[in-house]
Amino acid sequence: MIHLKVSHEKFSLFWVILSEQITDSEVTLLEKVDAMPAREWEEGLFEQFLEREQAGDFGSPELFRLAYQSELTRVSPNFDQLICLDQLPEITPYPHQLDTAKKVLNELHGRAILADEVGLGKTIEAGLILKEYLIRGLVKKVLILVPSSLVIQWVRELNQKFKITAWAQKSTYSWTDCDIVVSSIDTAKREQHREIVLAQDWDLVIVDEAHKLKNRKSKNWELINTLRKKYLLLLTATPVQNDMKELYNLITLLKPGQLGSQTDYSSTFMENKRLPKNRGELKEALSEVMIRNKRSEGGVQFTRRNVQSIMLDLNEDERNLYDEVTRFIKEQYEVLREQGRGNVLQLIGLQRQICSSPYAALVSLKAMMESEKTPSDIRDRVTQLYDLAGSIEAYTKVNKCIELIQQIDDKVIIFTEYRATQDFILYMLQQNGIKAVMFRGGFKKSKKDWMTELFKNRFQVLVATEAGGEGINLQFCHHVINFDLPWNPMRVEQRIGRVHRLGQTKDVHVYNLSTRGTIEEHIVSLLDEKITMFELVIGELDLILGNLRVGRQFDHDMMDLLVKGASRDELKSKFDELGEKLKEASIKV
């Protein structure tokens, strides 16, 4: 390595006069001098040359030529093109990703919120920008802050896809010794790390899931605000979750004052907490710091989605159980409403479980049986239901499910809401000689990866309780069975989104199982009609799902309507109302 010192040689008038470049008038010359950018001469190489000359230690003319030729690969021939693409033969970015990267580099001057909707590849965009800056020599020292469950994945993607040597933070030395460090924000702000992190000059800071910086009074926000950084990328699909001020706080990290002072912002751009005003102006101001690609805007071609609702008839035993349990719930629910207290959630749960499988209901029934709070007359009733549920011999849904899997003869994901149902399905699949793995909440990332590998390479079926699964890509699968249906249509969408997303090359088939004469029948028919509405706001899914209040209220309202024996139209208007709430919550600027 050759070490060079950089000296800042200021342009001097003295020198201009000496040079051959003196023009007619000294006045124009002086003006020119003012416009002249500073020059920085890298010093030291010529002195090395003199030493080598003394020693007679030279490279051959051929090596001299090769050196020049090799340096040409390290020349950025223009300001505004993405030269990194030549070095990334294994990546074929989508047009919107290329546009975004270019726009951040050329128009947003390297400080931006990447706010694409979920599934459009924000990390690819960030990777392209990082790679471009590295190749152009504008960035060397990089801090990447991501949720701890995604640290390893980021490191792996940067190394493998982008050929960027990035390191997962391991110790207090990582911050100083590694040029490119990936860490969780919680680690970085811990006492033993914080001072070291703050002492570095970061050429680029990337924050994934940046909505964690929405609160200006939080330690997270303060850390990013205090960091010394040149370029800054904030990645979030939900720049606003509950309050328009969150957006202001994010932008203050990037470009303080872009939206005026806080009072200006509130009066100019906020109708209320959730609704923007002067949208045109706001949009313009935001376009200088934020890029948001939406699925609905096209450009990204998704494969087709075929949804099939399969209506089943319960057998006599199952029918009997369903009716008994539903009657029990109705009675209890009304009692509770009159008294204004008691465990409504438990009843809502039971009503949903009984739609899923008798096994799922058994868990709740057992809990009620064993709870000391349950009055004795009710306990008898519950015990009776429990015995009834335990006595079922044939299972309509699971039989249909097995039949479907055998017909499909390809990878299938089965989603259910309940662990008990999941166990039951796994057991039944095993009995029928079908190889299956499972996912459930609380699995560590490594375990999920391992299960994904197994599913991809060796097993036909994945049975999952959890629709989220941050960072798990299952595009190699094209069939989804919804064994039971969440009442909230957005959760259905989120499930399907695991498979039907960017990178899926084939059409996706979705099978919704439901049983005639049950609540599920209502839900399924509403879904068939309304699913497109939810697809439109799909990008905001995580936003809404993160907002539990909306979700819970929806469950309560539905329960009310169902128990009251509301008409289909009433249920439908509830769905419409939810749709409206979503639209309001997602700011459409």
Instruction: Report the alpha-carbon distance of residue 26 to residue 23 in Å, rounded.
Output: 7
Q: Is 48 in the site for another protein (CB under 8 A)?
A: yes
Q: Is 410 in the site for another protein (CB under 8 A)?
A: no
The minimum distance between CB 18 and another protein, in angstroms, equals: 8
Q: Is 380 in the site for another protein (CB under 8 A)?
A: no
Q: Is 27 in the site for another protein (CB under 8 A)?
A: no
Rg (C-alpha) for the chain, rounded Å, is: 31
Phi-psi region of 389 (alpha: psi -120 to 50; beta: other; left: phi over 0): alpha
Residues linked to residue 270 through DSSP beta bridges, in sequence order: 276
* Choices 51-59, 424-432, 441-449, 474-482 (CB under 8 A): range interacting with another protein: 51-59
The minimum distance between CB 267 and another protein, in angstroms, equals: 13
The minimum distance between CB 19 and another protein, in angstroms, equals: 4
Whole-angstrom distance between the N-terminal and C-terminal Cα of the chain?
51
Q: Is 62 in the site for another protein (CB under 8 A)?
A: yes
Instruction: Report the alpha-carbon distance of residue 306 to residue 477 in Å, rounded.
Output: 14
Tokens representing 320 are 């009997």
The minimum distance between CB 436 and another protein, in angstroms, equals: 35
Instruction: Report the alpha-carbon distance of residue 307 to residue 40 in Å, rounded.
Output: 63
The minimum distance between CB 47 and another protein, in angstroms, equals: 9
- What dihedral angle (degrees, nearest 10) is formed by the CA atoms of 487, 488, 493, 499? -60
Residues linked to residue 114 through DSSP beta bridges, in sequence order: 235, 291
The minimum distance between CB 549 and another protein, in angstroms, equals: 32
| CB-based contact 238:246 (threshold 8 Å) | no
| CB-based contact 487:283 (threshold 8 Å) | no
The minimum distance between CB 238 and another protein, in angstroms, equals: 25
Q: Is 375 helix (H, G, I), strand (E, B) or coil?
A: coil
Chain positions 118 to 177 lying near another protein, rule: CB under 8 A, are 135-138, 163
Chain positions 271 to 310 lying near another protein, rule: CB under 8 A, are none
Tokens representing 95 are 């047009």
Among 17, 64, 337, 410, binds another protein (CB under 8 A): 64
Among 14, 24, 25, 72, binds another protein (CB under 8 A): 72
- What dihedral angle (degrees, nearest 10) is formed by the CA atoms of 127, 129, 131, 134? -140
Q: With respect to another protein, which residue has the nearer C-beta, 44 or 579?
A: 44
Instruction: Report the alpha-carbon distance of residue 355 to residue 420 in Å, rounded.
Output: 13
Q: Is 30 in the site for another protein (CB under 8 A)?
A: no
Among 5, 15, 528, 564, binds another protein (CB under 8 A): 15
* Choices 66-74, 266-274, 389-397, 426-434 (CB under 8 A): range interacting with another protein: 66-74
248 CB-near residues (< 8 Å, 6+ apart): 259, 262, 265
Q: Is 92 in the site for another protein (CB under 8 A)?
A: no
Element (H, E) at 436: strand 436-439
Q: Is 17 in the site for another protein (CB under 8 A)?
A: no
Binding track over 176-215 against another protein, x by CB under 8 A: ----------------------------------------
Q: With respect to another protein, which residue has the nearer C-beta, 1 or 27?
A: 1
| CB-based contact 482:510 (threshold 8 Å) | yes
Among 25, 75, 95, 444, binds another protein (CB under 8 A): 75
Chain positions 220 to 249 lying near another protein, rule: CB under 8 A, are 225, 228-231
Q: Is 59 in the site for another protein (CB under 8 A)?
A: yes
Closest CA to 410 of 377, 459, 339, 365: 459
Q: With respect to another protein, which residue has the nearer C-beta, 92 or 192?
A: 92
Q: Is 19 in the site for another protein (CB under 8 A)?
A: yes
Q: Is 40 in the site for another protein (CB under 8 A)?
A: yes
- What dihedral angle (degrees, nearest 10) is formed by the CA atoms of 485, 487, 493, 498? -50
The minimum distance between CB 228 and another protein, in angstroms, equals: 7
